[in-house]
Structure 1
């Protein structure tokens, strides 16, 4: 279908319902440091009490981005796939409640909708995921209804042909600008299957560990990671690094952007990266400069981690601007 007027941004990627289960931190459920980072451990065969659970419909990278963009005053749509079940119906209704256009939500009568389980252990989370094997198809907007920007993110391992269709369409529409925030499976697949997407991207956003996986670069050398990502095509690159801020390059200079000051310790970190990437994109779509877009992004990321779930903390435009006005003088991107 073609919108009555072009969307500011069309977000593309899988949508899920998340059920977040809050684990009790005791002797039966622990975290420990392994050689490759922290691990979550639970006693096998036990019946473990949990503190509570919440269900979040319309989650996922691209959906979180669409909601973030609508709250920042943009006209956003989501191209995604759901099953013909109660979960898919709730997701579609929730997207509409957030003001996201659902014309390109494809409903598959014989399929179930993606449902993930988030194990919360303090502020950290471990996610149990399963992506259903949808018969993905790209429904291209007409030339008169093409979005100004596309925000492309996480898809399942079954979507290779679909990704090629999207890349072909983007190649035929050079006027449409592209932000690429690769999801976990896209990161694992490396550059090869997505080379056309990387080359076509105006902005690519990923975290430091993902940049190492994608480029094969040195985790300790951020300059090299930025250069390696530029080498596969994007004009602008951002590498997020959790509480240590973010690193960015527009091809001319390398900048470090600090985090926005947290008002309290994080409640839960789900969606922090999505909030950062989507807010950066929204700022650029709204016509903000590269440096100002870097200032926008950590504000939403900070507020998201003060809530459970990836969308409750997403700020409307007026509140984000108010937070920026209260930022300390040191809250600026600086060369590094």
Structure 2
């Protein structure tokens, strides 16, 4: 594996986020006045690709967009963020993925319309297998068809390529995926919804616990919680994506798991201090500076 600039391939969703900020979320059948509305690049796959690129990795994206204005804008944006988009192709008969996001009381609610993300099929990914073969780490999520996730995890397992599965949004996972994946990164709610056997898959589980930190299994088979960092929260959208990308980058640099999680926690803490899924994603220098200041403060 590359030590300073690992090659990360992200296979997943590319969306346009349509974000409405409101004082409170309306009840069923109720209308409330929002404070502001914005459109911005998103999708868990694209978010993770951008986050990894900002942290210094060589990043390749495999995904689909619609042949529409959103698709063109998103592909151009990924290029500007230093993400290689050779694996991103337009679909003529489907729209670009859209996420409708409500921000209220420092939390978010999200509805995703998959669109072209449903065209990230096993056959499509196989056409871009040469990209995967060069990877130090692969990241995949569940905003693309589950059969594609199974195909990707199985392929990486056969090739000996480490792969992180961020199981969001939560979806039942067949044993073939759980057995093939290297790391599984649910939050507490996703872990409970997935009903993952924590004994069988304990070595693979890295569970994000919000403000409490991250739980993982040490080499000594002891569950340890790495505390998170207390910061002023502006917007939690994209924090999980930043965590997963940073974890992949740190592991790609051959960091030990504890150090990799601390790095990922710091990246996520920085990300929530600004608006938008990608707006606050930090650079490697910013994460290192944050960690250094926290160490000196302790």
TM-score for both structures, normalised by structure 1: 0.79
In the other structure, the counterpart of 1:162 is 148
Cα shift at 1:278: 1.6
Which of residues 313, 326, 332 in structure 1 aligns to 2:280?
Answer: 313
| 1:20–1:117 contact (8 Å) kept in structure 2 | yes
State the number of aligned residues: 288
Which of residues 155, 167, 173 in structure 2 aligns to 1:191?
Answer: 173
Distance 1:229 1:144, change over 3 A: closer
66-75 vs 48-57, greater mean Cα deviation:
48-57
Distance 1:100 1:144, change over 3 A: closer
| 2:211–2:229 contact (8 Å) kept in structure 1 | no
Does residue 158 of structure 2 align to residue 151 of structure 1?
no
Deviations 1:260-293 (A, max 9, x none): 131x2x1111111111222112111112111111
- Classify the secondary structure of the residue corresponding to 2:84: coil
Aligned partners of 1:299, 1:144: CA distance in 2, in Å?
28
| 1:236–1:250 contact (8 Å) kept in structure 2 | no
Which of residues 265, 275, 282 in structure 1 aligns to 2:249?
Answer: 282
Aligned partners of 2:131, 2:53: CA distance in 1, in Å?
23
- Classify the secondary structure of the residue corresponding to 1:199: helix
Q: Which has the higher helix share?
A: 2
Cα shift at 1:92: 0.4
Aligned partners of 1:277, 1:143: CA distance in 2, in Å?
20
Bigger RCO (CA 8 Å, 6+ sep):
2
In the other structure, the counterpart of 1:296 is 263
Cα shift at 1:236: 3.2
| 1:16–1:113 contact (8 Å) kept in structure 2 | yes
| 1:7–1:145 contact (8 Å) kept in structure 2 | no
Any stretches of 5+ residues in structure 1 without a counterpart?
1-5, 30-39, 217-227, 332-336
Which of residues 223, 234, 240 in structure 2 aligns to 1:273?
Answer: 240
Cα shift at 1:91: 0.6
Compute the RMSD of aligned alpha carbons: 2.3
Cα shift at 1:43: 6.6
